[in-house]
Structure 1
Amino acid sequence: MEIRLLEYALAISKNRNFTKAAESLHIAQPSLSKQISKLENELGVQLFIRKHGNITPTPAGVRFLKKAKKIVLMRNDLIREMKEVNQGTSGELIIGSTAVTGGHVLPPLLQEYKQRYPNVQIKLVEESTKQLTSLTAKGEIDIAILALPIEDTYLTTKTMFTESLNIVLPTKITSWMPSHIQNLLTPSQIQHASTLSLESLSQCPFILLKQGFGFRNSVLELCAKSGFQPQIEFETSSIETAQSLVKNGLGVTIVPNMVVHQNSNTQLTYFKINSNPTRTLVFAYHHERYLSSPSRALMNVFDELNNQN
């Protein structure tokens, strides 16, 4: 059995259509159909149900595709590893991260990385936590920067750092604020207050990230531990947008400490949460796949920079 036949079957499974699969493989559709029929005859099982142009794998096809994907990935990893033996740290590195994490963690890291490894071509993938986890598990991302916990058992992790979480309020007092929050934001009190309890915000409108972002789940869990379910006023895919909404008096949000350090907006007020919750960022990668030299180099560069600070 030729590996190219495995790739053909995987392309059909991905596209759910012979014509689209043939286009992605740059071969003629009749040729693709003939090759899959040949493969099915060789195996003695039907791999796909062909019905009204919609192609779905049979139960036997599901089992075949799962193992075929592993074989193709192992072949690709082997080729990549052998090239690295000859060429050193070069080639392509696909890094996944959410927008807020990537925007704060990656720029200084990649600046140093590119100076050391100019022959590595870097591709950035910004998606939700759910999407990044899935893409990394599928082998479509080499290494992702995610927050614990990681639910996918195919992924292993290396700790980057742990940071605190912060409440963000508008500097200007607004009508939805309870009296104790309004009092806290008066000029005479704000200089003396550094922490705030989540319970004190239970009646405030919250601005959260959309579903699929791990940080959203962290905030909801924190609120649940504090005995309330937040009143969600707005949802966004950007923490920067969330802060802009807060700045304009539309609610309260929670952000990781890295955002506080790089934000000097005088229209926002940050408070530590008195229960001192944290989140831990990690490098995540597929534990059954070859960890490429560019991926290992990225983690090493981060460790060196982190030790200098």
Structure 2
Amino acid sequence: MNLNIREIEYILTIMEEGSITKASQKLFIAQPSLSQVLKRVENELGVTLFTRVKNRLKLTPEGEVFIDAGQRIMKVIGELDQNFSGLSTAQSGRLVVGVPYLLGTLIATEIIPVYRERFPQIELQLVESSSTELEQLLMDGAVDISVMPLPFKFNDFPYHLFLKSRMVLLTSRDNEIAEGAYRKTPGDRFPYMDITQLNNAPFIIGHPGQRIRTINETIFKKARITPNIVMTSRNQETIKRMVANGIGYTFIPEHYLEIFGSFDYLDCYYLEPEVDYQWKVVTAYYDETHLPTAMQNFLDIMDEYYRTHFADPVFTERG
């Protein structure tokens, strides 16, 4: 069977109007042309679709079967067109966003309310996991977007920069190194610390494979120190509490201070540029050649947040 959607539409219109003349007027095509369409469809199917009764066309039993199927086909086509239209205008669809455990609260409070207000018909699902697992989920297509810190472990995904921050040394208030702190500029939020003097000092860091651990190890290497790793944990809140109890030190992004909440019982120190690490969190996706509207709109909102908090208003870093 070789029929097209327009031919089905023409036959349905003939049925509705009861004559080829009226149908041709409604469809704005010549009557002989419409007659040829009807003849071609009947020849293709090997049946007669209409008989003439008192100057009006009447469906044959075969014609009734055709009309029933044709109406169902046009309904499906209409629904398909509506769905694609909704997706292209972000009025419908589903978006799965992967976020690291620690940044879930930030995304939930700063990004999702804006997205839901602008695009309430989009079903938005959050998947919280570790950065390594989020990268794997992105490669597997289980999430559409992953918010995760650089560097990538498995693949160089296209991305938009979401957060960036310098690192800070976190210590308890009663620590042995406080007397070595110094200020470089009166307006600095925190004093500086020469961490090259912390060889064999106690540190609490993340588990192997975690991005935050990789960053800590990079700083150790740049400072040419060998830390005494007294404890590891996947949970940054746990690490913060251990530091507060004087068990050891750790490095965290300065932006985490806002995410964690109060740091009144901890001391923070900036690092010299030669040993510092610029922490970057990006919004990564798999294929930059095809960005559904719902995904593009989410990226736009993430870009707005970055420009507002971290970047020149006319520039957004993309990778």
- Shorter-chain TM range is 0.5 to 0.7
Summarize deviations over 1:226-250 as a string: whole Å, max 9, x none.
1123221111112111111111111
Q: For structure 2, which runs of at least 5 residues remain unmatched after alignment?
A: 1-79, 182-187, 310-319
Partner of residue 183, structure 1: 179
Partner of residue 281, structure 2: 281
Of residues 257, 262, 265, the one that matches 2:263 is 265
Of residues 225, 232, 236, the one that matches 2:229 is 232
User: Which amino acid in 1 is paired with 2:266?
Assistant: L
TM-score (norm 1): 0.64
Aligned-CA RMSD value:
2.7
CA 277–192 in structure 1, closer or farther in 2 if over 3 Å, else same: closer
What secondary structure does 1:100 align onto? coil
What secondary structure does 2:171 align onto? strand
> Shift of the alpha carbon at 1:288?
6.9
> Shift of the alpha carbon at 1:212?
2.4
Partner of residue 216, structure 2: 219
Contact 1:154 1:287 in 2 (8 A): no
User: Within the alignment, does 1:208 sit opposite 2:210 as a pair?
Assistant: no
What secondary structure does 1:270 align onto? strand
Instruction: Provide the identity percentage.
Output: 21
Partner of residue 141, structure 1: 143
CA 259–288 in structure 1, closer or farther in 2 if over 3 Å, else same: closer
Contact 1:202 1:230 in 2 (8 A): yes
Matches for 1:92-131 after TM superposition, within 5 Å: 92-131=94-133
Summarize deviations over 1:162-216 as a string: whole Å, max 9, x none.
211111000123xxx4xxx05348xxxxx99711132232222111111221121
What secondary structure does 1:295 align onto? helix
Partner of residue 301, structure 1: 301
User: Which amino acid in 2 is paired with 1:240?
Assistant: E
TM-score (norm 2): 0.62
Partner of residue 35, structure 2: none
What secondary structure does 1:254 align onto? strand
Q: For structure 1, which runs of at least 5 residues remain unmatched after alignment?
A: 1-79, 186-190
> Shift of the alpha carbon at 1:300?
0.7
User: Which amino acid in 2 is paired with 1:233?
Assistant: V
* Higher alpha-carbon Rg: 2
The number of equivalent residue pairs is: 219
Contact 1:165 1:272 in 2 (8 A): yes
- Counterpart CA distance in 2 for 1:192 and 1:151 is 33
What secondary structure does 1:94 align onto? strand
> Shift of the alpha carbon at 1:151?
3.7
